[in-house]
Amino acid sequence: MVREPIPRLFALLGDPVAGNPTQEIVEDAFRRLGLDWRYVSTRVRPDDLAAAVAGLRALGFAGAHVTVPHKVAVVPLLDELSAAARAIGAVNCIVAHDGRLIGENTDGKGLVSAVSAVTEVARARVLLFGAGGAARAIGVELALAGARSIRLVSRDLARRAGVTAALAGIGAEVVDEPWPEQPITPSDATLVINATTIGMPSVSSADALVPVAWNDAAPGLIAADVVIAPSTPFTEAARAAGVTAVGGVDMLVEQAVLSVELWTGRRPDRAALRTVLEREITAAEGDSAVQEGAPR
């Protein structure tokens, strides 16, 4: 009797992972590519992360996604980092190759890829709200893609300074400023990005809007939001003013495409990935856990 080859194994490492749609997205992509591979979502507490990574090695896992709160803590447990992951200082995707675990970060790549479908990123003048992990990853990828300038706006002085230093370190033209008392007029921007938590269900109504004066937007302006939802107050306000908006769903689809391609060497069906993601978001509507998204 001829035995089938042992399926390759992949995992999501995070805490929490309940409600995260990535397992369904990735396994659907594997099936469509004709691959009998497996993906499992595993809750890993911070104190168990080192053991979990050692388990990936011992069990021969071919790759993994890493989500909150492990994206930074996992870095010293890996053998190698991509240039982007090194600049960002965080990993959300692991690729096993020749016995080595290589850390990648697709957070910013997903957004840049989604935006690139509607406009040219090179030479873009960016207004970026936020200074957390998502903003840092997005800023790094925009800089590597040739963005002309990045204007960073955040309430957190220390985080803002850290992101500014990281971007300046890779040659980006960046200025940072505190959260404004009045909406910012994006007249000199070509791309406005919300990389904050504003728009997530857990955020209070007092913080529901990113301070942008959309009615004063320059022609051709593009808006992009990292919040994983079909629409958010940010994208709704942008579209109401005639601005083209890219949402977090677009970003997460691109992240999934990139991860599957890193693991398989083949590009999955983007439209099919979107269909599965939208189905899972609808099924989990009202569950704030889905707002995190695994690759982010």
Closest CA to 281 of 247, 239, 241, 243: 247
* Averaged pLDDT, 104-109: 95
pLDDT attached to residue 288: 47
Number of H-type helices and E-type strands within the chain: 9, 12
Instruction: Please give the order of strands across the beta sheet that includes 63-66.
Output: 38-43, 9-14, 63-66, 93-97, 100-104, 80-81
Residue 13: pLDDT over 50? yes
Residue 152: pLDDT over 60? yes
Residue 6: pLDDT over 80? no
- Report the C-alpha gap between 88 and 170 in whole angstroms: 11
Residue 127: pLDDT over 90? yes
21-35, 146-160, 236-250, 281-295: the lowest-pLDDT one: 281-295
Structure tokens at 204: 């209070």
- Report the C-alpha gap between 221 and 78 in whole angstroms: 39
Q: Phi-psi category of 26—alpha, beta or left, where left has phi over 0 and alpha has psi -120 to 50? A: alpha
Residue 3: pLDDT over 60? no
Give the tens place of pLDDT for each residue, 206-233: 556 899 999 988 889 999 999 988 889 9
Q: What's CA 118's distance to the chain center, in Å?
A: 18
Active centre residues (catalytic): 71
Count the residues in the chain: 296
Domains defined along the chain, listed by start: 9-106+250-291 (3.40.50.10860), 109-247 (3.40.50.720)
* Averaged pLDDT, 165-179: 94
pTM of the complete model: 0.86
Structure tokens at 148: 């002309």
For residue 258, the cross-strand partners are none
For residue 176, the cross-strand partners are 152
Q: Phi-psi category of 242—alpha, beta or left, where left has phi over 0 and alpha has psi -120 to 50? A: left
- Report the C-alpha gap between 105 and 153 in whole angstroms: 23
Looking at every residue in the chain, the average pLDDT score rounds to 91
pLDDT attached to residue 286: 52
Residue 279: pLDDT over 70? yes
Q: Which residue has the tokens 């004709």?
A: 34
pLDDT band, very low/low/confident/very high, at 291 (cuts 50, 70, 90): very low
- Report the C-alpha gap between 35 and 145 in whole angstroms: 32
More confident residue, 85 or 281: 85
- Report the C-alpha gap between 122 and 131 in whole angstroms: 21
- Cβ 115 vs Cβ 224: under 8 Å: yes
215-236: b or e for each residue (b if 16 or more CB lie within 10 Å)?
eebeeebbbbbbbbbeebbbbe
pLDDT attached to residue 283: 82
- Distances 256 to 14, 179, 279, 295 between C-alpha atoms, Å: 17, 32, 15, 7
* Percent of the chain predicted with pLDDT > 70: 92
**CA geometry: angle 251, 242, 135, nearest 5 deg:** 30
Closest CA to 94 of 30, 14, 162: 14
Give the tens place of pLDDT for each residue, 36-45: 999 999 999 9
pLDDT attached to residue 268: 96
Residue 292: pLDDT over 80? no
pLDDT attached to residue 148: 95
